[in-house]
Amino acid sequence: MSTTPPTDTSSLLGRLEGVAAYELRLAARRQLAGPMVELVLDGDLAGLGALPGNDLMLAVPVEGGDGSFRRRYTIRQHLPGSSTLRLWIDTSAGGPGSRWAAEAPIDSIIEALGPRGKVSLDEMADWHLFIGDLSFLPASLAMAEAIEAPGQVIIILEVDDPGDAIAPELDEGIGVTFAVIERAGRALDDPAGLLAGLAAIELPTDEGHVYVGGELTVVAALRAALRTRGLEGQVVDAKPYWRLGVANLAHGEPKKDDLAG
């Protein structure tokens, strides 16, 4: 099989403001809890002014052929001025991006474009609610760990196995509620578990911000539920990461033509 990149790099750089191209080396890999894999990438990262929650668009090689396709992964950690960054990638979907994350040879080179993403930490909020599936965990933790005390963090995470949940490591002075919802055989696009978790949480009365991420149908259902509680507009950031049964588009995001809400 042979293909060409879905959009060439120069065209992407021409229309994506504030984005640069980086040639990165896969320096290390380690298995975290369950299907979560940590990749350590290094290279000349000067100028990568990523905010917590931003991602990189990687040119993942096509299996058994020429060319590549784009996939986007949250920057789990990058210290300003460092030549190293970390990605946490949920490989449970089993697609070509997941297989690349699990199997790419150490020292292999990959092109990355970034930083990408409109969802980042609202530093003015008094409390922060992060809700979604395992694919949203890296972004949730990256944003939660950037919160300065005093503050309040609520994380509602749905997983197949409670052992897959990785709790944030936050500074003293930040209140944390970490609720893990076991999927218990429900379909990956069934929002019932997270909707129940959301309904069970009493939200603070002061100014907050909600971040939603995960499977497209579930994200839509959560947005609708949040509206019934008066949470919408600029206080809610909702991002579908993937769509059950449908491969992400060539630019790395799921098709959103029938995303409700």
Residues 160-198 have pLDDT tens digits of: 999 999 998 898 899 999 999 999 999 999 999 999 999
- Per-residue pLDDT tens over the stretch 176-185: 999 999 999 9
Rounded to 5°, the CA angle 237-246-97 comes to: 80
Residue type, 204: P
In this predicted model, which residue has the larger pLDDT, 247 or 23?
23
* Reported CATH class of domain 127-242: alpha beta
Q: In this model, does residue 5 exceed pLDDT 70?
A: no
Cβ pair 41, 109 in contact under 8 A? no
Please write the tens of the pLDDT for every residue from 14-30.
888 889 999 999 999 99
Architecture of the 9-116 domain: Beta Barrel (2.40)
Q: Which two tokens stand for residue 36?
A: 């979560």
Start-end of CATH 2.40.30.10 domains in the chain: 9-116
| pLDDT score at 252 | 56
Q: Over 90: is that where the pLDDT of 93 sits? A: no
Mean pLDDT (the chain, rounded): 89
Average pLDDT over residues 116-141: 95
Locate CATH 3.40.50.80 in the chain. Answer: 127-242
Say how far apart CA 66 and CA 33 lie, in whole Å: 33
Res. 2: pLDDT tops 50: no
Residue 261 above 60 pLDDT?
no
Arithmetic mean of pLDDT, 223-243: 94
Give the integer Cα–Cα distance in Å for 224 and 221.
Answer: 5
Cα(241)–Cα(258) distance, rounded to whole angstroms? 15
Concatenating the DSSP letter of every residue in 59-109 gives EEEPTTSS-EEEEEEEEEE--TT-SEEEEEEE-TT-SHHHHHHHHPPTT-E
CA atoms 79, 80, 83, 88: torsion sign: positive
User: Look-up: residue for tokens 């911000």?
Assistant: 209
CA distances from 18 to 13, 187, 257 (A): 8, 38, 27
Question: The pTM is what?
Answer: 0.90
